[in-house]
Structure 1
Amino acid sequence: MLKKIGGYSILVVILLGIIYFFLPNYAQKALLHLTANIDDYEIFENRTVAASDPQPWEKSPQYNQYEMGRTYQDKLDDYETTAFLVVKDTALFYEKYYLGYDENEISNSFSAAKSIVSLLVGIAIDEGKIESVFQPVSDFIESFNEGEKSKIIIKNLLTMSSGIDWNEAYMSPFSKTTDAYYGNNLKKLVAELEVSNKPSQEFAYKSINTQILAEVLEAATGQSISDYATNRLWRKIGAEHDALWSLDKEGGMEKAFCCFNSTARDFARIGQLVLNKGNWNGEQVVPADYIEMATMPARLIRSGERIPHYGYQWWILNYNGKQIPYARGILGQYIFVLKDKNAVVVRLGKSRSKLYTDEHPNDVYTYVEAAYELLK
C-alpha cells in the first residue's frame, strides 16, 4: 500500500511538473512567488530614479515626543506596518519603523505609483510635451489609431474611464493583471488591448490605464519614465535616496501601474509637493492648476451615480467634512495629504483591510485618525 501511495505521489509530481513547464512564463512566476511582496524589486529588473543634491527633512521640535495610542498601535501591528511617518510644517514630526525596516529601506509602492505617474503627466503638459488632458492617445501610440480606441483621450486614462477591456484580478495566476506584473512584454499587452465600453465618464479602476499613460509619456518626452522622473521630479524635490522602478525585463518598460520603490521619507516628498500645490522651495515643479484638478473628484459616475472618491490617479477620502487626497497601494501603501494640518502622512506595510467603507479600505480611517490624534 505504501509503495502504491509513493508511486501515485511521484506521478502527481511529474504531472504537475509537466503542467508547470507548459504554463506561460508569467503564470510560472506567479505560482513560484504566490503573492506580491513589498520587496519584489529584488526579483525584477529595475531602472534607477536617481537622487541628486538631497535635502534631508528637518526635525520638528516635537519630533517623536508623542506616543501612538494603544488602539492605533495595535492596528498598525495587525496590518504588518513597516513605516508610519508624519511631516508637519515641512519637518519630520513623527516616524516609527517596524519589522526590521528603517528610514533607509526601500519598498514597493504598488499602485501608489499611479499617483506619481499622474504628476509626471502634469509636468509633461506644462512643458508642452503633451498638449492637454484632452489630447488623443492615438497621437502617441499607433495601436490606438483605429476603432473605439481612437476616441480615448488622456483624461480617460487619468480618471479610469477609458472603457478598455481589462480584468483587474489580483489572485488569479492567469489574469491580465498577473501578466502585467510578472510578464515580460508590457508594450505587447498595451498593443493588444480592446475596448469593451465607449470611453466616457463611467469609472472602472483598471491598472492598464496607468501603463498606457507611461507609454504616452515615453513617446511624448523621448525618455523612459524613470529618466523623466529623475530629471523633472525626483531631483527637484530633494530626494535623499535613489528610487528603483521595476521593469518587465532587462532594459524594458517600467511597471508604471505599480512598483516604484522608495523610502517612507522620500514618499513623503510626493505628498509635500501636492500639499504645496506643486511648488518646491519656490520652483513650480507641477502646475498648481493640474494639482487642483488631480486631487479633486472627477466628474465620474458608476451605476448611474456620481462618485466622489477619485481624481487624476489620486484617491480622495471624505473625512469629517474634509477632502483628503491620497495615493494608495494594494498592501497598504498610503501617502495622505492633510491640508488643514499642513501635514503629510505616509504608511507602508505588508497588508491592509479587506473591508471597505465608501470605496476606501477601512484601515485608511485608522491611519488618518491616528495622525490627527498625534497632531492635536
Structure 2
Amino acid sequence: MLIMIRFAAALLARIAALALVVSTLFALPAAAQAPAPVSGLLEDLALRQELDPLKTVIVARDGRILAERGYRGNRVTDPTNIKSASKSIISALVGIAIDKGLLAGPDQKIAPILKADLPASPDPRINDITIGHLLSMQAGLGRLSGPNYGRWVASRNWVRTALAQPFDDDPGGDMLYSTASTHLLSAILTKVSGKSTLALAREWLAPLDGFRIGAWDRDPQGIYLGGNQMAMSPRSLLAFGELYRNGGRTASGQQLLSAEWIVASWQHRTNSRFSGDEYGYGWFERQIAGEEVHFAWGYGGQMLYIIPSLDLTVVMTSAESGPSARNGYRDALHLVLGEIITTVKAGPETDG
C-alpha cells in the first residue's frame, strides 16, 4: 500500500510539472491572446456589406505597419489603378521640379511653356493661368472630368483640347475639378525636363523604399496622363504617403521633397463644390474624428490618408468599377478612418 501511495504521489508531481511546462510554453498574457486593436478592426471590416468594394487597408504609425489586410482575394502588394489619387503624385513631382530649378514656382505662367499648343486666337485670360492654378484646380478652363472626360480622351491632342476649352471662371476663381489641369502639369514637366513624367518619377523618387509605378496611360503624343490611370500597389502608395508624413524625407533621412512644398500643398486654397472639403495643391483636407486629415482621393475609393498629429498613414484601395462620392461609399471609408483614429488614440498598440 505504501508503495502505491508513493507511486501515485510521484505521478501527480510529474503531471503538475508537465502542466507547468505546457503553460509556460503556450499560455500567453491575456492582452496578447486578444486580437490586436487595429488588426481586429480590419478583420471586422470584411463583414460589413457597405464595404463590399473594399480591396485592401494598410495602417502605419511612425513608419511601422500596425496592421494590413486584403479582402476577397486582393493583396497589399498587387498593383491597382489609383485613379485620381495620382494627382497628389503629380503635385510632388512639380514640387521637386521647383526644388531643382526646372520650374520657377507656383506663380509661374504656363502659356510660355505650352505656347506651341495654345489656340490660334486664345482668350487673353489664358496668359494669367499659373502652375499653382493648375495644382489647385483654379485654372478657370471648362472641366474635362465627369461627363466631359470621355470626349477629351477621345481627342487627338489632349493638351491642345484642354487649352482650347472656354473659360467658366477667371483663373484663381472657384475650384473646377478637372483631370485636364493635372495633365497639363504632366506636359509641362515633360517640356521643361526633356524626360517623360514616368522617367522623372522613377528617377526622383527612386530612393523611396517600396515606391514603384507600374502601368500608366499616355496621350496620343506620348505624354503620361497626369492625374489618372496609374497603377501602384497599396504598399507603394503607403511609401509615397510616408514621404509626406515624414516632411519630405526617406526613412534613411534623405530629403527628396522640400518640407516647404508639403506645407504649401496642404494649405487651404479653395473648396470642392461637390464635397465641401478644403483643397490645396493636389490634396484634400478635412477633420475626421477630431484630427486634421490630408488625403488623396481616387475614383471608386482609392484613398491615401495622412494624419500628422498621430504620425498615422492609412491606405485604402477599392474596386474601380463604381463611383465613391455619389453613392456614399467614400463617406463610409471616412467613417472607417474615424474608427482607426479612435482605436489608435485609445491606448498603446499591441499590433506586431
Q: TM-score range, shorter-chain basis? A: 0.7 to 0.9
Report the equivalent of 1:212. 184
Q: CA 1:102 to 1:184, structure 2 compared with 1: closer, same or farther past 3 Å?
A: farther
Are the counterparts in 2 of residues 297 and 308 from structure 1 also a CA contact under 8 Å? no
2:310 is aligned with 1:341: yes
What is the alpha-carbon distance in structure 1 between the residues aligned to residue 211 and residue 90 of structure 2? 20
Q: CA 1:183 to 1:98, structure 2 compared with 1: closer, same or farther past 3 Å?
A: farther
Q: CA 1:75 to 1:136, structure 2 compared with 1: closer, same or farther past 3 Å?
A: farther
Quote the offset at 1:88 in angstroms.
Answer: 1.4
Which of these residues, 164, 188, 213, is aligned with residue 192 of structure 1? 164
Q: CA 1:203 to 1:65, structure 2 compared with 1: closer, same or farther past 3 Å?
A: closer
What is the alpha-carbon distance in structure 1 between the residues aligned to residue 207 and residue 36 of structure 2? 25
- Which ranges in structure 2 are unaligned for 5 or more consecutive residues? 1-34, 347-352
Which of these residues, 132, 144, 147, is aligned with residue 155 of structure 1? 132
Are the counterparts in 1 of residues 60 and 66 from structure 2 also a CA contact under 8 Å? yes
2:56 is aligned with 1:86: no
2:72 is aligned with 1:99: yes
Deviations 1:107-150 (A, max 9, x none): 10100010100000000000000001000001210144852111
SS of residue paired to 1:253: coil
Choose 1 or 2 for highest CA Rg: 2
Which of these residues, 137, 146, 154, is aligned with residue 110 of structure 2? 137
What is the alpha-carbon distance in structure 1 between the residues aligned to residue 36 and residue 308 of structure 2? 20
- Which ranges in structure 1 are unaligned for 5 or more consecutive residues? 1-61
Matched AA of 2:140: G
When normalised by structure 2's length, the TM-score is 0.77
Report the equivalent of 2:151. 179
Q: Which deviates more from structure 2 when the two are superposed, residues 210-219 or residues 160-169? A: 160-169
Larger fraction in strand: 1
Report the equivalent of 1:254. 224
2:248 is aligned with 1:273: no
Q: CA 1:244 to 1:212, structure 2 compared with 1: closer, same or farther past 3 Å?
A: same
Q: CA 1:226 to 1:180, structure 2 compared with 1: closer, same or farther past 3 Å?
A: farther
Quote the offset at 1:89 in angstroms.
Answer: 1.8
SS of residue paired to 1:203: coil
Quote the offset at 1:356 in angstroms.
Answer: 8.2
Report the equivalent of 2:199. 227
Once the two structures are superposed, the pairs formed by residues 315-354 of structure 1 within 5 Å of their partners are: 315-350=284-319, 351=322, 353-354=324-325
Aligned length: 302
Deviations 1:169-218 (A, max 9, x none): 24xxxx3x113456664234235333232112322212211111111111
What is the alpha-carbon distance in structure 2 between the residues aligned to residue 190 and residue 294 of structure 1? 23
Report the equivalent of 1:292. 263
State the Cα RMSD in Å.
2.7
Q: Which deviates more from structure 2 when the two are superposed, residues 140-149 or residues 218-227? A: 140-149
2:138 is aligned with 1:165: no
Deviations 1:47-88 (A, max 9, x none): xxxxxxxxxxxxxxx989731177744447634111111111
2:336 is aligned with 1:363: no
Q: CA 1:324 to 1:228, structure 2 compared with 1: closer, same or farther past 3 Å?
A: same
Quote the offset at 1:286 in angstroms.
Answer: 0.9
What is the alpha-carbon distance in structure 2 between the residues aligned to residue 144 and residue 119 of structure 1? 26
SS of residue paired to 1:148: helix
Matched AA of 2:336: Y
Report the equivalent of 2:207. 236
Are the counterparts in 2 of residues 182 and 248 from structure 1 also a CA contact under 8 Å? no
Are the counterparts in 2 of residues 328 and 335 from structure 1 also a CA contact under 8 Å? yes
Are the counterparts in 1 of residues 248 and 255 from structure 2 also a CA contact under 8 Å? yes
Deviations 1:292-336 (A, max 9, x none): 1101211x3689xxx661010101122244221100001100000
Quote the offset at 1:243 in angstroms.
Answer: 2.2
Report the equivalent of 1:121. 94
Quote the offset at 1:367 in angstroms.
Answer: 2.6
When normalised by structure 1's length, the TM-score is 0.73
SS of residue paired to 1:139: coil
Q: CA 1:183 to 1:347, structure 2 compared with 1: closer, same or farther past 3 Å?
A: farther
Are the counterparts in 2 of residues 64 and 95 from structure 1 also a CA contact under 8 Å? no
Once the two structures are superposed, the pairs formed by residues 18-33 of structure 1 within 5 Å of their partners are: none
